[in-house]
Amino acid sequence: MNRIRIEAGAPYDVLVGDGLLGEAGARMKELLPPCRAVLVTDSNVAPLYAAGVEASMTEAGFTVTRYVFPAGEASKTMETLTGILTALASTGLTRSDLVVALGGGVTGDMAGLAAALYLRGVRYVQLPTTLLAAVDSSVGGKTAIDFAGRKNLVGAFYQPGLVLCDPGTFQTLSPEIIRDGLSESIKYGVICDEALFARFESDPAPDMTEIVTRCVEIKGDIVAQDEHDTGLRQLLNFGHTPGHAIEACSHYGISHGHAVAIGMLLMARAATAAGICKDDTARRLETVLRKTGLPTVAPYAPAQLAAAALADKKRRGGSITLVVPKQMGACVLHTVPVAELERFFASGMEVRA
């Protein structure tokens, strides 16, 4: 088992290791005395893992109530959030009690936001069951729902008290869902760790415990320096501005990780065209994405993507901040005037490094 300490405003541990889900109750008991807990999960994950987690928590002395919502991005709404909050209130949760998020990024985002809002903040624990959630959304304290047709528009920064990642849960994921997580894992290599990226180049089946641990270490270092996303943490958005635009244009028919893969390559090509990126990052990235089975071509026109991206949270007045590579393992923030965004996207869709 690997332990990574996240030095946020409220520090916590991320534990990564096979079998941790079966130890969930005992691990939570190390964090706080047994209490009432609401286990939030979705309709896909509940049949697989909810009973086991409940049994582990009950054995450790926790009193558990389960709340299950329909799986999928379409449930990341105010209505689902209201349902979770209603469950917390109906259970009579107090500030001495606990919310537990069991599942992927949608579950973690919504349960975390509900925990942030209820009684102005109750403790919560993340139990990510997807690679994407393990390497990204379960760590760092970003919680949100989609709102008014825009992704993650309503949310809060609220850190969990503990994250338990059991890579054994990845065995129940479809290849497509695994690829979503691999996309975000590859991202960490491009933004700040060429050695990590090189592992994807050389190993078609890298060890998931090692990959998750390294990605969490990187994210933890960044969050410790910029918890509230005002500077350095924005590097974690590499590929996300065009990626979110692709998701929106597809009405979320294209999954997050697949959209980010396209977005990363688009940004690398655009950076090459603009003379910002001086090496063969775009070529190497395209090779790895193709080998991994991830898409590389945006199915929408530059004008469509630019229009969708201008609703993104990263827009500031008349400009928008993008993340682009200078070289493999080193990305920078690049501000583009709103009027030039379509052209910038177009250059990334035309250039082939």
Q: Are both 159 and 181 inside the same structural domain?
A: no
CATH classification of the domain holding 249: 1.20.1090.10
Measure the CA–CA gap between 18 and 166, rounded to whole angstroms. Answer: 5
- Do residues 132 and 266 both lie within one domain? no
Residues 159 and 182 in one domain: no
pLDDT of residue 312: 67
Instruction: Report the candidate in 63, 42, 16, 323 with the shortest Cα–Cα distance to residue 187.
Output: 323
The answer on 293 and 316 residing in a single domain is yes
What secondary structure letter does DSSP report for 119?
Answer: G
Q: Are 158 and 181 members of one domain?
A: no
Per the structure, the complete domain to which residue 272 belongs is given by 176-228+236-350
> Structurally, how many domains does the chain consist of?
2
d(CA 59, CA 34): 10
Shared domain check, 156 and 23:
yes
Shared domain check, 166 and 128: yes
Indicate whether 219 and 287 sit together in one domain. yes
- Do 241 and 338 belong to one domain? yes
Tokens for 309, please give them: 């991206």
Q: Do 161 and 219 share a domain, yes or no?
A: no
User: What is the C-alpha to C-alpha distance for residues 297 and 271, in angstroms, rounded to an integer?
Assistant: 16
| pLDDT per position as a tens digit, 3-20 | 999 999 999 999 999 999
- Separation CA 226–CA 228 (nearest Å): 6
The size of the chain, in residues, is 353
Cβ–Cβ < 8 Å for 25, 59: yes
Q: Which pLDDT belongs to residue 320?
A: 94
Sites in the chain below the pLDDT cut of 50: 351-353
- According to the model, what pLDDT value does residue 142 have? 96
pLDDT of residue 352: 44
Q: How many CB atoms lie within 10 A of CB 42?
A: 22
- DSSP for 243-256 reads HHHHHHHTTT-S-H
pLDDT at position 289 is 97
- Which of the listed residues 130, 147, 172 is the one where a domain comes to its end? 172
Which residues, in sequence order, are CB contacts of 220 under 8 Å at separation 6+? 4, 5, 6, 7, 14, 139
Does one domain contain both 182 and 154?
no
- Residue 314: its pLDDT value, please? 63
Same domain for 222 and 122: no
The last residue of one of the domains, among 172, 190, 214, is 172
**CB of 191 within 8 A of CB of 234?**
no
